[in-house]
Chains A and B, each alone.
Chain A
Amino acid sequence: MKKTVDVSIPLGPMHPCWKEPVRIKCETAGERVLRAEVELGYMKKGIERIMRGRPWQEVMFLAERVCGICSVVHNMVFIEAMEKISDIAVPPRAAYLRVVANELDRVASHILANFSYCYTIEHETLAMYLLNTRETVLDNLERLTGSRINTAYMIPGGVRFDLLPGDAAAMLADLAKVEEEMKRHVRIFETGPLIALRSKGIGYMSREDAIRAHTVGPTARASGVEDCDLRLRHPTYRALGFTQITRTEGDNFARVMVRFQEVFQSIDLIRKCIETLPDGPIRGGGFCKAGETSYAGEAPRGELTYAIKTDDYGRVIDIAIRTPSVMNIEACAHEMIKDAASIADVTSTFISSDPCIACNER
């Protein structure tokens, strides 16, 4: 039977489920969605154009403001790219503190993504529980860096603030609380029959599709793609014994569960970091040199790449950023939403891939 398009339904740019403006055009036959197309361009600010010709201490803040949710990792990848160009060595204590800040940010980002998913499938109770747990995580990020979001924590050659001994104990106590709460939330999510109805088997993407669509991050890991976590290649994470989490279901449920499991893994990493925190300085000094490089790190949403060219005066001449949401949103539109059973599943499927429009368009 030939599929005929009844009506094309636009979702967005102002939509109760989207945190940021994006438009999805769904071609439907009855309630069934045949095809979906994502229309972007509402958030283009031209950050890469502003960055050109600016010194690192200004580009660092612009890089952070590519995305507010995962600001720490943007800062980290940019600074590590600058360090790679200029051969700056980071003191071990600073490298560990970077991991602590990055993982706290990842926990906050994953909890926010799962909050959005629960909010979209109208499970508001769990959504509010998750949002309250996120506040505790942000408190700890604030304790370490001095602000909740857009922390400006790292500079070439180290970090800005040390972790005070009293704060380390308070952070460990808070993390134990977060872990306990999250265990409860995961139990609610795993065993909820209505959540399973809205999540299991919906928005399925096979492993082959995931590889063909170049998905990255938790979206790829939920479809069973191995070796797609760049933390496996980061020296500090390797010293901490990081292993990747993979699930094979490839549906909305798996994507959310991968994020839940990574929260526990991140909490373990932070704990390991704080317990084995080496003594020593937190800043090594060193100034930026001329060079050109491309450096990738693992953001909460996947692989994040900065290609940077600098001159002898610490200025960035040319820069290109590739953010993980670019691939994930396209994969979501072309692989997951395709043949969705109802228009209501489009929103939850789209949110389950954790799209970040500000990242995507810069």
Chain B
Amino acid sequence: MSILQKIKNTVRSRSIHVSYVDVGSCNGCDIEVLACLAPRYDIEQYGIYVHNNPREADVLLVIGSVTPQWVDKLRDIWEKIPEPKVAVAIGNCPISGCVYARKGTLTSPPVEKYIPIAAQVPGCPPRPTEILSAILSVAPLIFKDYEEKQP
């Protein structure tokens, strides 16, 4: 392993930029992601910075079952994120559609149909600690030795 790679690993492990996109949920999961910012959970002590700009994000938190408006836009957002990138599904909605997966719904879950999902955090909504540990456990798996893993 080259020294450059080692430096990259160290830097990446403490600088994870997170962007979240709500593609049609009850916004309970949105505010639980926001609650991760609170000093009690303090997501920034792990080097995770939450903001809403996909162009500088590493991790995309997808919230919500996909509404018709987002079917094409979600893929656009995913393509705008620079490599290496990873998408995490937060809550039941992107996994199964939660209570919206019934007759008459306008949503079309799961979100895996549109973009690749690396990790899922079930719960309606999940606790901030669960979101935090999911991001922390999935990020190193993707970002460590990213260049060497490329074919």
Chain A residues close to B by CB (< 8 Å): 13-21, 41-47, 49-50, 52, 54, 58, 61-62, 64-69, 71, 112, 115, 128, 131-132, 134-135, 138, 148-150, 356-358
Contact = CB atoms under 8 A, between A and B. Distances in A.
A115 B69 CA distance: 28
B24 A44 contact: yes
A17 B51 CA distance: 9
B86 to A, nearest CB: 18
Contact of A15 (B28, B29, B52, B64): B52
A13 B76 CA distance: 13
Nearest to A41: B69
Contact of B28 (A16, A21, A135, A150): A150
B65 A45 contact: yes
A58 B98 CA distance: 12
Contact of A131 (B30, B37, B103): B37
Contacts of B103: 50
Top 5 A-B residue pairs of the complex, sorted by shortest distance between their CB atoms: A68-B28, A46-B106, A49-B104, A65-B26, A131-B38
Nearest to A148: B127
B69 A128 contact: no
Nearest to B103: A50
Contacts of B40: 132, 135
A49 B67 CA distance: 14
B99 A61 contact: yes
Given A14-B54, A43-B24, A132-B40, 17 more contacts: A14-B21, A14-B52, A18-B52, A42-B24, A45-B67, A45-B107, A46-B106, A61-B99, A62-B99, A65-B28, A66-B26, A128-B39, A135-B40, A149-B31, A149-B32, A358-B25, A358-B27
Contact of B38 (A18, A43, A128, A357): A128
B105 A20 contact: no
16 contacts: A17-B52, A45-B106, A46-B100, A46-B104, A54-B102, A61-B99, A66-B26, A68-B31, A69-B28, A128-B38, A131-B37, A131-B38, A131-B39, A138-B35, A149-B125, A356-B27
B106 A49 contact: yes
A212 B105 CA distance: 34
Given A14-B54, A19-B22, A20-B22, A131 B34 contact: yes
A42 B67 contact: yes
Contact of A68 (B19, B24, B30, B53): B30
Interface string B106-128: 11000000000000000011010
Give the bracket for the number of chain B residues in contact with chain A: 35 or more
A65 B25 CA distance: 8
A45 B98 contact: no
**What does DSSP make chain A's interface, helix, strand, loop or mixed?**
loop
Interface string B23-64: 111111111101101111000000000011110000000001
Interface string B75-99: 0010000000000000000000011
B115 to A, nearest CB: 15
A150 B40 CA distance: 21
B31 A14 contact: no
A353 to B, nearest CB: 16
B61 to A, nearest CB: 12
A42 B56 CA distance: 23
A14 B76 CA distance: 12
B104 A68 contact: no
Contacts of B127: 148
Contacts of A14: 19, 21, 52-54, 77
Contacts of B30: 19-20, 68
B85 to A, nearest CB: 15
Nearest to A47: B100
A16 B21 CA distance: 10
B6 interface: no
A152 to B, nearest CB: 10
B45 to A, nearest CB: 13
Contacts of A66: 26
B53 A16 contact: yes
Contacts of A44: 24, 67-69, 106
B2 to A, nearest CB: 36
A43 B23 CA distance: 7
